[in-house]
Amino acid sequence: MSGAGHRGGGVTDFSTYLGPEDTLAGRPAEGGIVGRSGLASGTGKVDGPPKVTGAAVYTADLRLPRMAHAKLLRSPHAHARILAIDAAEALAMPGVLAVLTGADLPGRHGPIPVARDETALAVDKVRYRGEPVACVAAVDEATAREALARVRVDYEPLPAVFTLDEALDPGSPAIHEHLARKAARTGRSPNVLRRVHQSFGDPDAGFAEADLVMEESYFYPGSTHVPLEPHAALAAPEPGGRLRVWTSTQNPHSVHRTIAAVLGLDPAAVRLTKPEVGGGYGGKCDTFVTELCASALALRLGRPVRLALEREEVFYAHRGRHPTRMRVKMGLKADGRITALELEALANGGAYASYGVVTAYYLGVFGTLPYRLDHYRFTATRVYTNLPPCGPKRGHGAIQPRFAIELHLDRMAHALGLDPAEVRLRNAVEPNTVTVNGLRVTSVGLRECVERVVEASGYRDKRGRLGPGRGVGLAASAYMSGALHPTYANEGPHSMVQVKVDRSGRVTILSGTADIGQGSNHMLATVVAERLGIEPADCTVVEADTDLTPVDLGSYSSRVTFMAGNAALQAAERVRKRLVSAVSAELGCDPADLVLRGRRVFVRDEPDRGVDWRRAIALAEAEAGALGAMGSYRPPRIGNRFRRQSVGPSPAYSFTAQVAEVSVDLETGEVRVEHVWCAHDLGRVLHPEIAAGQIEGCVYMGVGEALLEEQAYRDGLLRAPSLLEYRVPTVHETPAIHPILVESHDPEGPFGAKEVGEGPQLGTVPAIAAAIHDATGAWLTAPPYTPDKVLAALRRRGVR
């Protein structure tokens, strides 16, 4: 269904590859984008052609015989008790098959075990406007939609909580009852999901040591992912009491487990398949009402049921960026060295936890990268409000504090008369070190990122010299390559991959990973092909089907290249050993002298002495039977240095520096981002176009958050629940994006690779904010930088 590839040629140039012991780490780093303008024909991704021809199959494209359609009735209240639901009139309509309410699916779920506070449909209470209350199944979508109006729900409205201040008030009405009991004991607000406070070193001594201490407040707005494909799920009963589910998800494993838990099924009785996914960016990490209600209805009705969201509903499904109020206090020596950092972050999380416990940690933990800090403390609080739930969006939890810290650092550099680029270089974290909060840092390409982006953009020549209304700004950042600890406690690998080899020469890679457009299928094919001396086009990737593919934890926390890539590499290495053993016996040579390259296995110094790929397979099968292998990856056991250090550490960190160039219309306040140069240390380039595409996508999403996007509400009702009103950047608002690939050869990454899918977004907004300052002299501390805000700032400064 997904990911099958039949391509000729591979774009990645591994021609300098020498032999099995000589991993890709031996190849000199080239940086930049290799061959971007001179691509030969047929060098796209393994799953490229289906996507450009319309043949790629997404969940809502699937049709099954007798397929019924489901629609959701949603709450008009932000906070209300459900007194009664009467579905009789809807059920009496011709064509209506069933109506589900919260009582039918009462099991609580949530992606983080300590905060399972959500139900498929509201039980007893609604907690945000737009929360699903009932689900109607009918023979067609129109009938289901019409029946929604005939489901009567009696509500008793309750006082609602919308803002951070309301949520933090000890007298605020409790959104979740179990927290009310706890709050009554402690005298604190009943709407705090998690408060994390950590302190390292001696921050007060650090501030005392500083030549300049500054403290300022920042606000980062909420925004939402807007995947172009609305969430959809299709479920069908299977013979033998099994259930099949197809769904648009980033985390097939987590959704598989959750469906089984909520429906009370043995997970072995559920087969979950992820078709192509039309974008996620974090927005399809949770288990959604689509999956749970389609599954329950399919079992109840004994026929397939599809539940696909409409565009407006996607905005209410949300799980987007937490609007976050922050206070940053930083100490700097006169030479720019950071002496101490203090961060306070308050995040408005909406009605349910989602990944919010993790958000609370991420808001603080990553404060110690990318700069060396000896003294650091933070307090991060994630609260409940009566708004659609926030969750993980690209750069989860790290985007907001990085914005505040980078802009703050720029302000302090400015105050001290220092070059902001030099300040970044002076503080850059060193490779093979441990941060003050215990993050083990291996490869670091930050210095090269800063130098190359400064060079490429002409930052030093441009800063302060472009004239009124034009400016440049710089920011740096770091991000994780997957989490050391899984989202639920288990001792198993985080990723497992099976490689099977057919006598035809075709190699099939089976993996529970979820390609959501980021290119993980091609990554797997590249890693395996490189190890076996064949081309990515020789590989078929079968992904994310729980009956076929071994578990992978999912596409979150930028983990897939590092973890699934390593699992694939291990599986391929095991296959390679079999091939080398059989071929060396045939040729009578030392196995160590054999090279796999160009669909051949041959003696390194005698390239004519060897066998072709199919012959090698035949020899390996003859020697020891079926040819295939499993590989797995579990992160290293890096000891926790203190309690509750489990959220945040990663086996490797990526590093980024970027420069934005903007123009600001001093009459209208309109900001245009003209260019963004973004240098990203991804360890090792596995595929230059895909890697560059991830950087471009990150910068694009950052530009949207900088200039246009805000998930805003009026009394809990979305202000912009359509693509016309919620303004994502079109081509007209998108700058020229100049990606620069920096390689630091991570010792543990597959061929040295690290993440590239999220990190490049972290610095985009602060770089733009710094550029606006360069253009106008105004420090704008709360994106999005819409004309009204910019004009107000210019007026305050007397520019207008």
Q: Binding to other proteins (CB under 8 A): which residues in 1-60?
A: 36-37, 39, 41-45, 47-58, 60
CA–CA separation, 320 and 392 (whole Å): 6
CB nearer to other proteins: pick between 101 and 443: 101
Question: Least CB distance from residue 516 to other proteins, whole Å?
Answer: 6
The two tokens of residue 22 are 């000589």
Phi, psi dihedral angles at 69 (to 5 degrees): -125, 140
CB nearer to other proteins: pick between 53 and 504: 53
Which segment (124-132, 411-419, 517-525, 647-655) binds other proteins by CB under 8 A?
517-525
Give the per-residue contact string, 97-126, with other proteins (x = CB under 8 A; - = no).
xx----------------------------
| Binders in 238-277 for other proteins, by CB under 8 A | 276-277
Give me the numbers of helices (H) and strands (E) for the chain, helices first please: 20, 30
Give the per-residue contact string, 202-241, with other proteins (x = CB under 8 A; - = no).
-----------------------xxxxxx-----------
Using CA atoms, how far residue 312 sits from 122, 189, 316, 551, 718, in Å, is 19, 32, 7, 33, 9
Angle at 317 between CA 312 and CA 321, to 5 degrees: 110
Give the per-residue contact string, 682-701, with other proteins (x = CB under 8 A; - = no).
-------xx-xx--xx-xxx
Is residue 279 involved in binding other proteins (CB under 8 A)? yes
CB nearer to other proteins: pick between 57 and 603: 57
CB nearer to other proteins: pick between 137 and 794: 137
CB nearer to other proteins: pick between 213 and 301: 301
Question: Least CB distance from residue 661 to other proteins, whole Å?
Answer: 16
Contact 116, 106 (CB under 8 A): no
CA–CA separation, 72 and 10 (whole Å): 45
Is residue 146 involved in binding other proteins (CB under 8 A)? yes
Q: Is 322 exposed, middle or buried (0-12, 13-18, 19+ CB in 10 A)?
A: buried
Contact 356, 193 (CB under 8 A): yes
Which segment (145-153, 478-486, 641-649, 707-715) binds other proteins by CB under 8 A?
145-153
Which segment (84-92, 159-167, 494-502, 624-632) binds other proteins by CB under 8 A?
84-92
Amino acid at the residue 593: D
Question: Least CB distance from residue 741 to other proteins, whole Å?
Answer: 13
- Number of residues counted as binding other proteins (CB under 8 A): 76
| Helix residue spans in 658-777 (DSSP H) | 688-707, 764-776
Contact 140, 101 (CB under 8 A): no
CA–CA separation, 553 and 256 (whole Å): 11
Using CA atoms, how far residue 6 sits from 48, 319, 484, 487, in Å, is 10, 36, 35, 35
CB nearer to other proteins: pick between 279 and 512: 279
| Angle, helix 764-776 to helix 399-416, in steps of 10 degrees | 30
Among 6, 81, 311, 641, binds other proteins (CB under 8 A): 311
Using CA atoms, how far residue 203 sits from 214, 330, 645, 649, 757, in Å, is 14, 10, 19, 22, 33
Question: Least CB distance from residue 517 to other proteins, whole Å?
Answer: 3
CB nearer to other proteins: pick between 89 and 590: 89
Phi, psi dihedral angles at 610 (to 5 degrees): 180, -175
CB nearer to other proteins: pick between 116 and 145: 145
Which segment (159-167, 173-181, 212-220, 511-519) binds other proteins by CB under 8 A?
511-519
| Binders in 715-734 for other proteins, by CB under 8 A | 722-724, 728, 730-732, 734
CB nearer to other proteins: pick between 237 and 697: 697
Contact 565, 500 (CB under 8 A): no
CB nearer to other proteins: pick between 45 and 494: 45
Question: Least CB distance from residue 736 to other proteins, whole Å?
Answer: 8
Contact 519, 687 (CB under 8 A): yes
Closest CA to 760 of 427, 325, 449, 463: 449
